[in-house]
Structure 1
Amino acid sequence: MDWLQVVILSVLQGLTEFLPISSSAHLILVPTLTGWPDQGLAFDVALHIGSLTAVVIYFRRDLAGMARSWTRSLTTRQLDADARLAWAVLLGTIPVGLAGLATKDIVETHLRSPVMLAIGLIAFGLLLSWADWRHRGTRSEHQITWRDVLIVGCAQALALFPGTSRSGITMTAALMAGLSREGASRFSFLLSIPVIVLAGGLETRELLSNGHPVDWNALWLGAVLSGISAYLCIHYFLVFINRIGMQPFVAYRLLLGAILLWLYL
């Protein structure tokens, strides 16, 4: 990897991890279009570390309150708003964890073509558009119900299909369940934390087992750039989402999907 590739992929990962436009689609697409070599597993781990650090720092006060309330709920059996949200994040992660273990090989070998990416971008982009126009409500993430958690958690498993976007499908499901744009976005971002930890853990385990040499300078730079861009993305997305809505991201998904179909069909 040269430094231009490191910078572009790092910033791209940080931006697309939390926008509803599919980070996996962009990280697969860029090497395909540019002819760059695959960035490798070690670099993927570094990018995940950067994204994880960003979301944890941004939501540090929320996470601290959730952790205290969750720990207290284990002994008191009583759930306040923070404890309920913490349990919602943990329980909402179970479906994607099980689905990932069951379908990992199929996804990596059969569903990563540009045409499949285009299908995912277009189909789930239209679903996001419909949910944003017709179904969004006014509830915050603290008002999420167990039924909502089941819906969003099961929807998150669909993100294993390239082009879907984990943040996009969870926001779509949360909007359809009646959360506001900001509530759906905040719950999606919180839900990303255990998912990134699980994905990064699996990649780290595989990395340690293969024993390949790594370029530590590239990894450090990748993690820092991914973290900075992810933090800025989360901040400004939450600042402007109620004003701009989801439709600009839908338009981008449809355009990118159409370009991919034109190039590869």
Structure 2
Amino acid sequence: MSLLHLFIIAVVQGVTEFLPVSSSGHLILIPTLTGYEDQGQVIDVAVHLGTLIAVILFFWADVRAAMGGVPRLLRGKIDTPGSRLAFLLAASTIPVVIAGFVLKATGLSDAMRSVAVIGWTMITFGVVLWLADKRGPTTKREGDWSLRDALIMGLWQALALIPGTSRSGATISGARALGYAREDGAKLAMLMSIPTIIASGTLLGIEVVGTANMAAARDGAIAATFSCVAALLALSLMMRLLKSVNFTPYVIYRVALGGVLLGFAYS
């Protein structure tokens, strides 16, 4: 693959993974709109690895606390902030794992990879994000996260398996509907992405074992580096902007892009 192709894929993945605009939808569109060949699963795994590293680095204090709480959680104790966070993150991942298995087993995950589906979900879940952000109260903070809220946000996250929905957008919508402040809801959504990316990356990794070669490994390393840097910049920008800006700019982008895609799909 050319360096430009790798750069485009990695930057698109890195920027859109954590912004509420759908990374999977944009990645599916790259071959359709640019004429490039599909990047393949090796590169998909690599760019997901890059974004995983980025979110771990950005929220390292919370990640370290959760990792430190895993041993106590394995002993059945949820009596520290770290073990509690680890427990809630694990619980929030259950819905997306179950839904992902069902979609994979039935073949629906491949059937939904179309420009028309992405166009409709871009618009629909953009409006959902706008309504949740406008009407949702701001009475809860990250410390108020409960098992009930973790499971509900996990169900929202599972909706993002539909291409174009946006994992972060759906999860943030759920958080705002539950009453979490923008920054706190976004932070919880980002932390929830860690076990989810690990689960999906592991599944993809198992599928590509034995198919990669040295050239693919080199391309993957380049793509992972680019996506990590892009994701760090996107995360930093979004978390900073949420102190003074709502989610409306992202909604406008989603609706506009969705309209263009539907025009393209039905023309």
Into which bin does the TM-score normalised by the smaller protein fall?
over 0.9
Give, in angstroms, the shift of residue 30 of structure 1: 1.5
CA separation in 2, counterparts of 1:73 and 1:46? 30
Aligned ranges for residues 14-33 of structure 1 at < 5 Å? 14-33=14-33
Give, in angstroms, the shift of residue 101 of structure 1: 0.7
Aligned to 1:151: 152
* Contact 1:107/1:161 (8 A) holds in 2: no
CA separation in 1, counterparts of 2:74 and 2:219? 42
1:102-123 Cα offsets, whole Å, 9 max, x none, are 1125333210110000111111
> Does 190-199 or 236-245 show the bigger shift?
236-245
Q: Alpha carbons of 1:174 and 1:200: their partners in 2 closer, same or farther (altered >3 Å)?
A: same
* Contact 1:136/1:181 (8 A) holds in 2: no
Aligned ranges for residues 36-47 of structure 1 at < 5 Å? 36-47=36-47
Q: Alpha carbons of 1:211 and 1:6: their partners in 2 closer, same or farther (altered >3 Å)?
A: closer
CA separation in 1, counterparts of 2:77 and 2:9? 45
Q: Normalising by the residue count of structure 1, what TM-score does the alignment of the two structures yield?
A: 0.94
Give, in angstroms, the shift of residue 83 of structure 1: 2.9
* Contact 2:42/2:212 (8 A) holds in 1: no
Identity of aligned residues (%): 38
Q: Which runs of 5+ in 2 are unaligned?
A: none
1:109-146 Cα offsets, whole Å, 9 max, x none, are 21011000011111111000000000141322221122
Aligned to 1:53: 53
2:184 is the counterpart of 1:183: yes
> Does 244-253 or 67-76 show the bigger shift?
67-76
Aligned-partner SS, 1:120: helix
Aligned-partner SS, 1:244: coil
* Contact 2:183/2:243 (8 A) holds in 1: yes
* Contact 2:65/2:81 (8 A) holds in 1: no
1:28-51 Cα offsets, whole Å, 9 max, x none, are 112101111000111111101111
Aligned to 1:142: 143
Give, in angstroms, the shift of residue 78 of structure 1: 4.5
1:205-232 Cα offsets, whole Å, 9 max, x none, are 1001546674333211101000011111
Q: Normalising by the residue count of structure 2, what TM-score does the alignment of the two structures yield?
A: 0.94
Pairs aligned (count): 265
Aligned to 1:227: 228
> Does 129-138 or 184-193 show the bigger shift?
129-138
RMSD after superposition: 1.7
2:233 is the counterpart of 1:196: no
> Does 41-50 or 133-142 show the bigger shift?
133-142
Aligned to 1:4: 4
Aligned to 2:171: 170
**Misfit runs of 4+, over 6 Å:** none
* Contact 2:78/2:87 (8 A) holds in 1: no
